[in-house]
Amino acid sequence: MNLEHRIERLERANGRLRRVVALLVVLSVSWPLLSAISARTTRDDVVRIAGPDGSEVRLEHRAGEGLGLFLVGKTGEIRGRLALVGEQPRLEIGGPKDKANVAVETTDKGAAIGIRQGDAWRVRHEVMGGVPRSSLFDGAEVERVRIGIFKDEPVVTLRDGEGKDRAWMVVERGPHASVAVRGSGRSEVALHARANDPCGIGLRSANGKMKVGIVGDDAYGQMFVYGPDEMSRVVTEAREGRQVIEVVDSKNRKRAILGVEDDRARTVLQDRSGAVFEDRSEGPSEAVRKDGETDAPPTGSGSAERKDG
């Protein structure tokens, strides 16, 4: 065997030796770690690192929670967790069981951060679908207060123990605002303030029908008191040169007018056809129209009869 063949055999032997040495190095490094893991883990655990006081850091997979990193106190309670639930990461940091803890989570629609008590939210701030919202929950996990931005308009909502809206406030685009307070049924008191429009107050009954409405601006004020059908009503109006009370029936017909117009007292009664059958008005004789909007000539007794023909 010549020198060239011997050198070739030595190189092959050295190559096998290097591979064996590399394998031994890998085993020497990994074996203590594998031994530590197998000695300290349960069926579902991946890695557990224990501190001298009994607290632990665990990397494990839990049913319903997915893969997570858990900080466990010396009493065995989880004090913090960073878990991957499905494809969504979730972070919780808190105190003992049933105490408040801080939670951060994400979904396909957005993210939320808040405070939980046990598994129930008590305070939650979120941005879902691009809409920011903050909520406060009671001990029964019912959302009682909600503050949000909807279509760039801030909205504050107060709810009862059943989760029904009972009061809310909206600031609309521009200098407009609305406040409403609702009873257990559909009864409601609503206030509206709008720029360049009348401000108003509305009262609805338990069946949701309008009962009283008050509107006004710099030029006038009006109050409406409605009957059961929301059509019959008594209208009180005050503006420059006109302060009157009008009675409107269920067919939306003006039946009576009482007040002062242009510094003249007026009392006008109309029948179902709109014809004036009595007019006790102060002022000069003028033609009487069917709608009763002009003064009728006074008589000696202060009344005027409309005569046909």
- Is pLDDT above 60 for 41? no
Average pLDDT over residues 131-137: 94
Whether the CA torsion 216, 222, 227, 233 is positive or negative: it is negative
- Is pLDDT above 80 for 107? yes
Rounded to whole angstroms, how far apart are CA atoms 234 and 220?
17
What was the pLDDT predicted at 78? 80
Give the type of residue at 35. Answer: S
DSSP alpha helix (H) spans, the chain:
3-40
What was the pLDDT predicted at 305? 37
Dump pLDDT digits (tens) for 168-200.
999 887 678 899 999 877 899 999 887 777 799
Reduce the DSSP state of residue 45 to 3 states and report it.
Answer: strand
Please, what is the average pLDDT of the chain?
Answer: 77
Task: pLDDT band for 124, please (50, 70, 90 cuts).
Answer: very high
The residues spanned by each domain of the chain are: 1-40, 174-226, 241-309
pTM (whole model) above 0.75: no
Decide which of 226 and 173 is more confident. Answer: 226
Dump pLDDT digits (tens) for 198-211.
799 999 998 889 99
Decide which of 78 and 104 is more confident. Answer: 104
Rounded to whole angstroms, how far apart are CA atoms 51 and 47?
13
- Is pLDDT above 60 for 118? yes
- Is pLDDT above 80 for 10? no
